[in-house]
Amino acid sequence: MENVVVGMSGGVDSSVAALKLLQQGKQVTGLFMKNWEEDDAEQYCAAAADLADAQEVCKQLGIPLRTINFAHEYWERVFRVCLHEYRSGRTPNPDVVCNKEIKFKEFLNWALHLGAERIATGHYARLDRRQQRCVLRKGRDADKDQSYFLHSVGQAALRRASFPLGEMRKTQVRNTARELGLATHDKKDSTGICFIGERRFRDFLSRFLPAQPGKIKTLQGNTVGAHGGAHYYTIGQRRGLGLGGRDGERNGAAWYVADKDMARNIVYVVQGRDHPSLRKRIVFAENLHWVGEVAPPLPARCTAQTRYRQRPQPCVITVLSAAHSRIEFARPQWAVAPGQSIVFYRQDVCLGGGLIRAASA
């Protein structure tokens, strides 16, 4: 009987993942990871509620639940990295870093130390095992697919991984949990950033990156407002600008962040989601990681996402190196944000990805 440790978050996805493993005849142990030291009552209550839900589900399923504290590792390998990116004016994706450094490294090592043969999570993704090579595929539910967040996980970890929900749709997951009366069957999906939960992001970030008041300008140089720090904003952001429909033309269209000058602490904005400055055809990336461990021959034609939930778009990789890669899209892409991940696909196979460093028209 295969021994599997499943990450239990206190949500419905990990609950049904554990159930599926039991139905497959696995010996299952649950693990609740504490990745952040609570610094206020609101966050403490949320973490305590998640742990209570995980405990209740494991009790219902008849499996043991262990807890472990990875807060130090999280601070050093996820949060500090993200702070550096924000200070540099980029917008990091902490979930990508978390998967690589915590869930599929620290969690995996801990599970193997306890004698587990495999770990499992509630990710919506699929794995094809071909001898000693794992192929990462999109989850069957296109609306919930999470392969984007898994593109930097290496082969050694994927060989030890399992995604029990990969063939399921979210509605099936909830129905399964409801039919068995699992405590988490109607629990709302978490939408917060992994290390801060549901709290207001800017309020949280300001504790570590103090406010630096500056000007909001149009691309023509006209000052239209003020901001609390360029590092708080991301390309394509609409909410939180406090501009209403003001400009010289007074056309009332919504404002969007189009660029940032970190040296001068200026946020540049444009009006209208379809403004040409928000669309870029060329993306420059670095630190590319290939799931299959072999880079494709150039020029490499594939599709790519520059943000989660985006439909993969046709592109060509024309330059490829560890330090610098150039990707040209067939059509300009909207609001390409430095610091985010660009992830490559061929049909439903995730080839890999890297960090966006710049983009141009």
What pLDDT shows up at residue 40?
A: 57
Domain with residues 3-179, CATH architecture = 3-Layer(aba) Sandwich (3.40)
The answer on pLDDT for 248 being more than 60 is no
Q: How far apart (Å, rounded) are the C-alpha atoms in residues 38 and 40? A: 6
H or E segment to which residue 21 belongs: helix 12-23
| Residue type, position 177, single letter | A
Give yes or no: 194 in active site: yes
Q: Residue 299, preceding bond cis, omega within 30 degrees? A: yes
Is the CATH code 3.10.450.50 the one for domain 211-273? no
CA distances to 46, 116, 169, 327 from 39, rounded to whole Å, are 12, 33, 36, 41
What pLDDT shows up at residue 273?
A: 95
Average pLDDT over residues 46-67: 94
* pLDDT digit string, tens, across residues 70-117: 999 999 999 999 999 999 999 999 999 999 999 999 999 999 998 999
> 341-346 and 266-271 as β-strands: parallel, antiparallel, unpaired?
unpaired
Q: How far apart (Å, rounded) are the C-alpha atoms in residues 287 and 224? A: 37
What pLDDT shows up at residue 321?
A: 78
E strands, 248-348, in order: 255-261, 266-271, 279-290, 300-305, 313-319, 325-334, 341-346
Q: Which of 98, 134, 315, 350 is catalytic?
A: 98
CA nearest 93: which of 350, 338, 345? 338
**What is the domain partition of the chain in residue ranges?**
3-179, 211-273, 278-360
pLDDT confidence band for 246 (50 / 70 / 90): low
E strands, 16-114, in order: 27-34, 65-69
What pLDDT shows up at residue 132?
A: 80
* pLDDT digit string, tens, across residues 160-199: 999 999 999 999 999 999 999 999 999 988 765 665 555 5
CA nearest 30: which of 56, 220, 326, 251? 56
CA nearest 86: which of 191, 198, 258, 233? 233
CA nearest 277: which of 294, 260, 265? 260
The model scores a pTM over 0.85: yes
Neighbours of 226 (CB within 10 A): 12
Backbone angles phi, psi at 34, to 5 degrees: -100, 110
Helix axes 170-179, 12-23, angle to 10 degrees: 70
Structure letter (DSSP) for residue 296: P
The answer on pLDDT for 302 being more than 80 is yes
The answer on pLDDT for 41 being more than 50 is no
Average pLDDT over residues 339-350: 98
Neighbours of 154 (CB within 10 A): 15
Q: What is the mean pLDDT of the chain?
A: 92
The percent of residues above 90 in pLDDT, for the chain, comes to: 83
Residue 107 tokens, joined? 């969690």
Neighbours of 247 (CB within 10 A): 18
pLDDT confidence band for 36 (50 / 70 / 90): confident
Residue 241 tokens, joined? 């600008």
Average pLDDT over residues 326-352: 97
Does the fold of domain 278-360 match that of domain 211-273? no
What pLDDT shows up at residue 130?
A: 85
Q: Which of 58, 82, 134, 194 is catalytic?
A: 194
For 278-360, give the CATH class: mainly beta
Give yes or no: 98 in active site: yes
The answer on pLDDT for 293 being more than 80 is yes
The answer on pLDDT for 138 being more than 70 is yes
Q: How far apart (Å, rounded) are the C-alpha atoms in residues 56 and 62? A: 10
Helix (H/G/I), strand (E/B), else coil: 120 = strand
Structure letter (DSSP) for residue 149: G
Residue 51 tokens, joined? 């742990």
Residue 132 tokens, joined? 């000693």
Neighbours of 281 (CB within 10 A): 16
The answer on pLDDT for 45 being more than 60 is no
